[in-house]
Amino acid sequence: MKKVIVGMSTCGLSAGSQKTYDRLGELLAANPGAFELKSAGCIGMCYREPLVEIRENDTRIVYGAVTPELAEKIFNEHVGGGRVLEEHVALRIEPGRELGGSEAPHQKNQVRIVLRNCGLIDPESLAEYEAAGGYRALRKALLEMKPDEIVKVVKDSGLRGRGGAGFPTGLKWSFAAAQKSDVKYVVCNADEGDPGAFMDRSVLEGDPHSVIEGMIVCGKAIGAHAGYVYCRAEYPMAIRRLTIALEAAREKGHLGTNILGSGFDFDIKIKQGAGAFVCGEETALFQSIEGKRGMPRIRPPFPAEKGLWQKPTNNNNVETYANVPWILMNGAAAYAAYGTEKSRGTKVFALAGKVKNGGLAEVPMGIPINDLVFKIGGGIKEGRAFKAVQMGGPSGGCIPASLGHTPVDFESIPATGAIMGSGGMVVMDDQTCMVEMARFFLDFTQNESCGKCTFCRVGTLRMLEILTRITQGEGRIEDIENLKTLGAQIKDASLCGLGQTAPNPVLTTIKYFGEEYEAHIKDKRCPAASCTALVDFCIDAETCTGCTVCAKNCPVNAITGERKKTHVIDTSICAKCGKCITVCTFGAVYKK
Amino acid sequence: MVTTAARNDDFSYRLWRYDGAPGELIPLLQSAQDHFGYIPRRAIGYISGVTGVPESEVYGVITFYSQFRLQPMGKYVIKACDGTACHVQNSRMIIDTLEDELGIEVGGTTEDGLFTLSTVACIGCCSLAPVMMINDDTHGRLTPQSVRKLLRDYRRRETAARAQAAASCGDAGAR
């Protein structure tokens, strides 16, 4: 019987997949037994959501942009009549044949290890996870391997932390393993606070058992019996799916006492974040679990020695744990075969911003930025020019298009001044103002600073004030030097990663886009026509229909025009409030 | 009938069952907020009494995390995303539109108690930018027009639900 599988993770739902699912449900009710209706996690092609897959034996045909109407058409013609609607096929996967469908280029350059099950299985079904090979690594680790053997496999694979710092995972595990304590903890950092990053969300929503399995294996390796997943509250579906997965794992006996008859006990609890970016920093995370304000602690001592409740703790990112079962089953050498010498394996990237194909892509480390932006990302929307890519969230930096050949790995990206970070890549075009981006990031880090360190707390505020003045046309000649000096001081005098990296977006934009800063300060001009105070609002004569809505809504009566004739904004009166843009249904108002 | 799971999540039940296990403060605060819609003064007292954590410390934890509210919220809490990807896709215009349509500023609640408007740093739905959440529902690929339509739809549903509730009360009174 054909299976009809609808992508029902957060991006699918926000694109309207619930309505599509409901229509298919109605069709099934009217035609009992016609097909099996299921839901799955995110395959990563977020830009083509809602996605509906028709699966028959091993052949998978994924349709993109499936509205309820298209779903009915697919039911009638494909499910009922066996006719594939070729023009809507995003992806066609048949064993022994090359990848087909309009979006094949997006998928065929990928190596899906972490995302191996996302979009393939029902994330709420333990049976499907096991059918896909799940929990075999757990069996091997608990019944056939000793703790130091497990650590050795992870070390040999070359896996480095996927949360951003890139610390060698096997080495980290060995530190906690070496501690003598009857109480140790395994912690999974699912706080994913970087704006622009959604890899962890996708894994938790699409394949939560892979993370659970990885954590239990870690527990065996370091001698811990309790695990915590710290998941941010902004991910309610991830928390829901993880809760279901934990209950199922407990019922099956993969969690609890004497797992698989091995004599090993382990269980996992979920702790929800409460909306604080700084709690993605591991010591702040521990404080938060302990019920305190999330203010980082000084290191040393490191978490492996004194972590959660001052006990030896191993903390890793969601993606790091999701790699572990695959590495154990396929061997360290298989993992190390991908990537570069110092950055082994694959990495999941979240492409967003001005790129055509926004979504998730898992690729071998070392692939050049341009491949991600153009081959997989499909290039820039509306055919505009590629200007920069922001990597590493608020801790990272903006890499200009001229450095697009840079390989994405733990060595090459930091050499540009940015960091690879957790994998978020926000692509920018010529309409993005880099000074405004720097201000935006500082606004964020200023808000999220815990306040403990003077230089972070006050320094970021001063930098923000300077940048705000510049974007409002009140920049001064000495501003750039002041930003550089302040930036260096904040990096030096901050206790944790937030403060230490907060100046990065500013310093990289000054380095690569210095002329934009100069234009703002000296010429009071925004080259990207973005900073409201430095541009004029205009109405495009060809698009304007003369509906008069803008004129009626202008708070200072700056717009004149007759019905059905082009309207005009008097820039000398215009208060630059932007109201006209938000009320025009034709998109005729623009900034120049 | 209240299921065991629902009962276990209930704030009063959790307070009663608190057994001194470490790390329960934030879950208790989250439970209080789920129950009351915000954290009222008396909830701080209950939690302090049961856990032994001084009220001032509880207050310090509440004010550190952006999720916790000390004022009642509207029925629908709008979280408009202003993360990097949404920002680059013009989320400011969406937020301006929301402020305009609702007649309130970010952080405020409409007079009819229907909507609270807040911004959030990133929902993790970046490819569908700009995005916002209304309670647990995520809406993506927003435009100023779609935002206005969405809010009007919510308002219309509320008015219809209230009218229906009033009508059924009226019926009950008539019987």
Length of chain B: 175
Q: Which of B87, B122, B128 sits opposite A46 (nearest CB)?
A: B128
Please indicate whether, in this complex, the C-beta atoms of B83 and A195 are within 8 angstroms of each other: yes
* Residue A10: CB atoms within 10 Å: 28
What is the maximum alpha-carbon separation in chain A? 83
Chain B partners within 8 Å of A195 (Cβ): 83-87, 121-122, 126
The whole-chain average pLDDT of chain A stands at: 93
The CATH superfamily assigned to B76-174 is: Glutaredoxin (3.40.30.10)
Write the DSSP string, A405-451: T-B-STTHHHHHT---TTSEEEEEETTS-HHHHHHHHHHHHHHH--S
pLDDT at B3 over 80: no
Structure tokens at B78: 């709008």
A176 token code pair: 């906690």
Q: How far is CA B133 from the centre of its chain?
A: 10
Contact B124, A10 (CB under 8 A): yes
CA distance A198 to chain B (A): 5
CATH topology of domain A3-103: Glutaredoxin (3.40.30)
Cβ within 8 Å, pair A15-B85: no
What is the secondary structure of A334-352 as a DSSP string? HHHTSB-SSSBSEEEEEEE
- Is B140 within 8 Å of chain A by CB? yes
Spans of all domains in chain B: 4-64, 76-174
Domain A434-522 top-level CATH class: mainly alpha
Q: How far apart are CA B21 and CA B35, in angstroms?
A: 21
Cβ atoms of A480 and A441 closer than 8 Å: no
Architecture of domain A346-429: Roll (3.10)
DSSP class of residue A366 equals T
The answer to whether B77 faces chain A, any CB pair under 8 Å, is no
Regions in chain A scoring below 70 on pLDDT:
none
Q: Assign residue A339 a region: left if phi > 0, alpha if psi is -120 to 50, beta otherwise?
A: left
Report the residue of A10, A357, A582, A590 to disrupt the B interface, i.e. the one with the largest count of B CBs within 10 Å.
Answer: A582
Which of B59, B128, B131 has the highest number of chain A CBs within 10 A, making it the mutation to test binding with A? B128
pTM: 0.90
For A521, the 3-state DSSP assignment is helix
Q: Which one of B30, B31, B64 would you mutate to disrupt binding with A, by most A Cβ within 10 Å of its Cβ?
A: B64
Considering only the beta carbons, identify the residue of B29, B121, B124 that sits closest to A235: B124
> Is a pLDDT exceeding 80 seen at residue B7?
no
* CA gap B72, A397 in Å, rounded: 39
Cα dihedral A569, A572, A573, A576 sign = positive
Grouping H, G, I as helix, E, B as strand and the rest as coil, residue A121 is coil
Does B124 contact chain A (CB < 8 Å)? yes
- Put simply, whether B118 touches A (Cβ < 8 Å) is no
Which pLDDT belongs to residue A50? 93
Residues B31-80 have pLDDT tens digits of 999 899 899 999 999 999 999 999 999 999 999 998 899 999 899 999 99
At A569 the pLDDT is: 92
Tokens 């008859």, residue? A261
pLDDT for position B174: 53
For domain A126-334, give the CATH number.
Answer: 3.40.50.11540
Q: How would you label A336-365 residue by residue, b for 16+ Cβ within 10 Å and e otherwise?
A: bebbbeebbbbbbbbbbbbbbbbbbbbbbb
Note the pLDDT of residue B170: 66
Best CA proximity match to A232, nearest among A353, A144, A318: A318
The helix/strand/coil state of A2 is coil
Residue B155 has pLDDT above 70, yes or no: yes
Paired with B133 in beta bridges are B79, B138
* Beta carbons of B124 and A198 less than 8 Å apart: yes
Query: A187, A191, A234, A381: best mutation site toward chain B, by most B Cβ within 10 Å?
Result: A234
Q: How far is B67 from chain A (nearest CA, A)?
A: 5
Question: Looking at chain A, which residue has its C-alpha nearest residue B144?
Answer: A582
Name the residue ranges covered by the structural domains of chain A.
Answer: 3-103, 126-334, 346-429, 434-522, 536-591
Give the integer Cα–Cα distance in Å for A359 and A194. 15
- The amino acid present at A532, given as its one-letter code, is T
CB contact under 8 A, A196 and B122: yes
pLDDT computed for residue A67 by the predictor: 94
Q: Which CATH class is domain A536-591?
A: alpha beta
